[in-house]
Structure 1
Amino acid sequence: MSKINRLFNILLQINTKNKFTVQELADEFNVSKRTILRDLEELSTLGIPLYSERGPHGGYRLINKNGLLPPITFSENEAISLFFACQSLQYYDSIPFEHESKSALNKFYNYLPQELKKKIDSMSERVLFITPTRQEKTPLLKNIMDAAIDQEVIQIEYESKRGFSKRIIQPIGIYSSNGYWYMPAYCFNRQQNRLFRIDRIRMLEVKNNFPQKKDFSNLTLNTWFKKTEEKPKELIKLYVILTREGILKCDFNIWLREKIKILDDGTGLIDTYLNKNEIGYMSEFFLGLGDDVEVKHPIEIVTLIKEKASAILNKYA
């Protein structure tokens, strides 16, 4: 076995052991203790955090109890895709393990071959993965993620349109969408699943030994999304006429752009059904399109747009 292969296999071995001795490794790899000592010294110089303990029950162990990942070989395209996947997170003001992710990306980049570094540097000037940048802070993001993973019940102080309120919830998970972080959770106050924006959470306290704690072993984010899609909704007819410019503006709305029918003259038509809970949001969205949109149905959206437009006119009268 070559020295490089032996070092690699030693690293794999010690990563799975709480403690090991030089003699154990020497017997396993059929080399002398002196050779193993030289190998361990070389691994230490490469940054592997080894600690030696003297005495009859001594030996070696990794200082980092969480262990180390073994070396992994990437193709050039795999390395590029991994680098840009991590770099795309820079547009989020907060992410879990923010410091660790930056450290890992820098470490990964520094170990790349020089030619591949040059290629990534060149691509960085030509390729960007942009997520809308938000000013809202999410200092409790990692705490909430940990609570979801550990299935803990937490008490939060939450800010909504009606002001601040305290809720006792059990997080199902966290996800990001359009630059915001969201948390679906079971709310014990409302006795149903609710969706919370994490930047609106002002306080968090873990409620140990909570008697009504739920078992979310089989309720993952994927199953939550599926149940949300399958849940019966109260629907209402949506009929909207769009100019060419209105079509382009609606393209930024993931849900609406799939519903647009392009007519022969280049204008657009939306003829679908809308969840009644979305009436308020859609009225504000269509109001922002100005005269590039004409809402025919539902009357509730038409009424809200008139009220909002009238309030704007009065403000500038």
Structure 2
Amino acid sequence: MRADRLINIMVFLQNRGKMTTKELADELEVSDRTILRDMDALSTVGIPVVAERGKWGGWRLLDNFRSELSTLTLEDMKALFVFPSKELLQDLGLSDSIDPRHRLLASLPVNHQADAQAMWDRIHIDVSTWRQSKEKVAAFETIQQAIWEDRKLKIYYEKADGNKVDRLIEPLGLVAKGNRWYLVASKNGELRNYRASRIHSAKLQMEKFERPAHFHLASYWEQSKDNFIRNLPAYDVEVEIAPSIIKRITFTGKFVQVIKKESANEQGWLPAILRFNDKQEAIEYMLGFGDQMKIVSPEHLIDEVVSLAKRAITFYQRDSSS
């Protein structure tokens, strides 16, 4: 995009002092003529770029000019190298075969490049799961176009219960949560979140909409996430855990949360409180550990676990005898 290229030119000139038309064209992978047009555009909007002729000539910014980009601290620059995985950038169409951090590194002042490279070599963010199952978003490009152009979008959406519905929405932004994308949109003035992989199709509308004046995507998402967590169902179970499975509980999965752990008792068992989404999840989880986890409360849960265990035994005994 031209706006990005103009900003890059300013960054290059601020960091390197002076560059020729050819040097800028090579860095930005455009023609010399394009650079000359860009310089005219910068001059038109008041950016003081000047051309010096001769063997040591080139483009430079007037000495008394300083843009807001120059106020980046070393910590700011280092932080730019710690951004989400390349997969997310590829989803958005913002990354080609060359890692954009290479270009960013080249644009930094020489005295900061070593620190930025050190940060890059020491911290890597991977948002994928161990068993990666990337969700496909059928109309991702259309969704993005609607967001950038503030145009209404008609989507064919699959709800959590499996029912499919048509929705006319005003798309406001995309949020990556782990390796999943969510579309934040307004419908009849109400903000809603749509899981992007459940959007089976999307049709861009000619009609535009006015973006809410005080809407801030990151702030909204954090508030929405907090509300979602607070409203999650909770079913707590007090248990005692055998020593042989304590480590497995410590690194437990998403279906259970360890709310409280106490010191081991005389038998070496660990008292704890586990939180599940609902009772059925608790029953199935407890049954999976057999005699290595003892339910303390609620007592009625013991009968339900025993009942399920008996049904499983009966089922397999019947199956093996047939």
What is the TM-score when the length of structure 1 is the normalising length?
0.55
Residue in 2 that maps onto 1:60? 40
Is the CA contact (8 Å cut-off) linking 1:173 and 1:220 kept in structure 2?
Answer: no
Describe the shift of the 1:240–1:165 C-alpha distance in structure 2 as closer, same or farther (beyond 3 A): farther
Amino acid paired to 1:50? I
Secondary structure at the aligned position of 1:217 is classed as coil
Amino acid paired to 1:179? N
Distance 2:18 2:121 in 1: 41
Residue in 2 that maps onto 1:136? 135
Distance 1:285 1:151 in 2: 48
Instruction: Please point out which of 217, 223, 235 is paired with 1:226.
Output: 223
- Cα deviation digits, residues 190-230 of structure 1 (max 9, x gap): x96543211232311123338xx686333433236436745
Amino acid paired to 1:202? H
Describe the shift of the 1:152–1:82 C-alpha distance in structure 2 as closer, same or farther (beyond 3 A): same
Residue in 2 that maps onto 1:45? 23
Amino acid paired to 1:220? H
Distance 2:211 2:74 in 1: 43
1:182 aligns with 2:182: yes
1:261 aligns with 2:252: no
Instruction: Report the Cα offset of residue 261 of structure 1.
Output: 1.0
Is the CA contact (8 Å cut-off) linking 1:286 and 1:293 kept in structure 2?
Answer: no
Instruction: Report the Cα offset of residue 145 of structure 1.
Output: 4.2
Distance 1:46 1:103 in 2: 19
Amino acid paired to 1:176? A
Describe the shift of the 1:141–1:126 C-alpha distance in structure 2 as closer, same or farther (beyond 3 A): same
- What is the aligned-residue identity percentage? 15
5 Å-filtered alignment, 1:186-201, equals 186-187=186-187, 193-201=191-199
Instruction: Please point out which of 69, 79, 82 is paired with 2:80.
Output: 82
Distance 2:141 2:176 in 1: 13
Secondary structure at the aligned position of 2:81 is classed as helix
Describe the shift of the 1:128–1:239 C-alpha distance in structure 2 as closer, same or farther (beyond 3 A): same
What is the TM-score when the length of structure 2 is the normalising length?
0.54
Distance 1:220 1:255 in 2: 32
Is the CA contact (8 Å cut-off) linking 2:150 and 2:171 kept in structure 1?
Answer: yes
Instruction: Please point out which of 91, 104, 109 is paired with 2:105.
Output: 109
1:245 aligns with 2:247: yes
Residue in 2 that maps onto 1:95? 91
Describe the shift of the 1:184–1:78 C-alpha distance in structure 2 as closer, same or farther (beyond 3 A): closer
Distance 2:206 2:37 in 1: 39
Distance 1:151 1:102 in 2: 30
Secondary structure at the aligned position of 1:216 is classed as coil
Describe the shift of the 1:203–1:119 C-alpha distance in structure 2 as closer, same or farther (beyond 3 A): same
Instruction: Report the Cα offset of residue 43 of structure 1.
Output: 4.0
Describe the shift of the 1:225–1:112 C-alpha distance in structure 2 as closer, same or farther (beyond 3 A): closer
Describe the shift of the 1:116–1:270 C-alpha distance in structure 2 as closer, same or farther (beyond 3 A): same
Instruction: Report the Cα offset of residue 155 of structure 1.
Output: 1.1
Unmatched runs of 5 consecutive residues or more in structure 2:
1-8, 29-33, 50-66
Describe the shift of the 1:230–1:109 C-alpha distance in structure 2 as closer, same or farther (beyond 3 A): closer
Distance 2:119 2:283 in 1: 36
Secondary structure at the aligned position of 1:208 is classed as strand
Distance 1:205 1:240 in 2: 51
Is the CA contact (8 Å cut-off) linking 1:94 and 1:139 kept in structure 2?
Answer: no
Distance 1:150 1:242 in 2: 57
Residue in 2 that maps onto 1:153? 152
Distance 1:97 1:73 in 2: 29
Residue in 2 that maps onto 1:283? 281
Secondary structure at the aligned position of 1:247 is classed as helix
- Cα deviation digits, residues 65-123 of structure 1 (max 9, x gap): 9x9998747665544332232xx322538432422795632311344578976776676
Instruction: Report the Cα offset of residue 187 of structure 1.
Output: 4.5
- Cα deviation digits, residues 142-177 of structure 1 (max 9, x gap): 543453455432111224552544322233432122
Describe the shift of the 1:40–1:219 C-alpha distance in structure 2 as closer, same or farther (beyond 3 A): closer
